[in-house]
Amino acid sequence: MARFTLPRDIYYGKGSLETLKTLKGKKAMVVVGGGSMKRFGFLDQAVNYLKEAGMEVELFENVEPDPSVETVMKGAEAMKKFQPDWIVAMGGGSPIDAAKAMWAFYEYPDTTFEQLITPFHFPELRQKAKFAAIPSTSGTATEVTAFSVITDYAKGIKYPLADFNITPDVAIVDPALAETMPQTLTAHTGMDALTHAIEAYVSTLHTPFTDPLALKAIQMVFQYLPASYEGDKEAREQMHYAQCLAGMAFSNALLGIVHSMAHKTGAAFSTGHIPHGCANAIYLPYVIQYNAKNPEALARYAEIARYAGLTGNSDEELMQALRAKIQEFNVKLNIPKDLKDFGIQEAEFKEKVAAIAENAVGDACTGSNPRAITPAQMEQLFRCVYYGTEVDF
Ligand code: FE
């Protein structure tokens, strides 16, 4: 038996934030990030709509990027005091991810992160509250996924939480919130969404339920991301929907080694953080070349290329056309072509690559990649993404 899980309701379109008026409940805890939602007036709007729904509202503000265990515990504590029957998380991926974990600790105060990290073994949520998610960036799609990432800074560990219990009940995909994204964030989150859709389409766990969502998302990103990057509002709106479709696909089909590599390199180098979507965008063309050695994966990349309107006389040519298209996008979006170009120092790369490669193979996303990979192959692949060389093994 297989399972395909999405939020009960997805409201979308300009002004759909208003749907908060229709939620049925007594108390709502609104979880937000650093201030852009407040600055642009969306937080006030959300609070007012919830009050119109007859709810008492309390805020939990200032969730940091890459939210910490401490923030999650503080939020859960605030929820225990306030006893909300709705948790409303709004902003980028971080406040929504944090709120998902707070929800688990609010409902089960005696649980631990160690218990929660076993994939798909959460206790039954919704005993106390339901969950609404409202994204302000167009990439992570956490508003529709079963995932959350929480960082334990003391131990230097990221806890990837995965369970359909934390798939929100309601997602509100209002493009007005995404109009405020700065240009670089638009590029990175857009390429993250493209990576989600492509990895979900070739994942070993892809299904007839996830395939159409992934293909449509890919086609929409190709169609709208460049204009969205240039600030076109109509294109921004379409990107906000495309990333959500990609999220519905990958929440159920999972991902692959582009994400394994991005997870383990994001904070690995002393020269600074590599933003998640930027790392994905750099690695994606190389990983396609690696995975395409598997004939089934090659055929599926060719299907993507055909669906996206690219041409070629064989699956190999179609796959290369897809890679070329992604590389062309990276140039347009000012994304470096390899890690050297990004500014990672060669000496530090050489010193760390073996350990990073081993960590990447152990990442939760490696299991559903269409071609298996050993730590030695992963190290070789990392050398290709560092120097920008062909993947010929
Ligand atoms: Fe991602």
- The Å distance, Cα 109 to ligand 1 centre, comes to 29
Cα–Cα dist 292/214, whole Å: 18
pLDDT tens per residue across span 82-134 = 999 999 999 999 999 999 999 999 999 999 988 888 888 899 999 999 999 99
- The Å distance, Cα 186 to ligand 1 centre, comes to 14
DSSP string, 251-267: HHH---HHHHHHHHHTT
- The Å distance, Cα 276 to ligand 1 centre, comes to 7
- State which fold the 9-178 domain adopts: Rossmann fold (3.40.50)
Does the pLDDT at position 156 exceed 90?
A: no
Domain assignments of the chain as residue spans, ordered by start: 9-178, 183-387
- The Å distance, Cα 22 to ligand 1 centre, comes to 31
CATH class of 183-387: mainly alpha
- The Å distance, Cα 140 to ligand 1 centre, comes to 6
Output the CA angle 256-32-113, nearest 5 degrees.
Answer: 55
Looking at residue 20, its pLDDT comes to 98
- The Å distance, Cα 192 to ligand 1 centre, comes to 5
- The Å distance, Cα 277 to ligand 1 centre, comes to 6
pLDDT tens per residue across span 320-339 = 999 999 999 999 999 999 99
- The Å distance, Cα 196 to ligand 1 centre, comes to 6
pLDDT tens per residue across span 279-297 = 999 999 999 999 999 999 9
| Percentage of residues of the chain with pLDDT beyond 90 | 92
Q: What is the DSSP letter of 386?
A: H
- The Å distance, Cα 37 to ligand 1 centre, comes to 22
Helix 257-265 / helix 183-202 crossing angle, nearest 10 deg: 140
Burial level of 156, CB count in 10 A (0-12/13-18/19+)? exposed
- The Å distance, Cα 293 to ligand 1 centre, comes to 24
- The Å distance, Cα 263 to ligand 1 centre, comes to 9
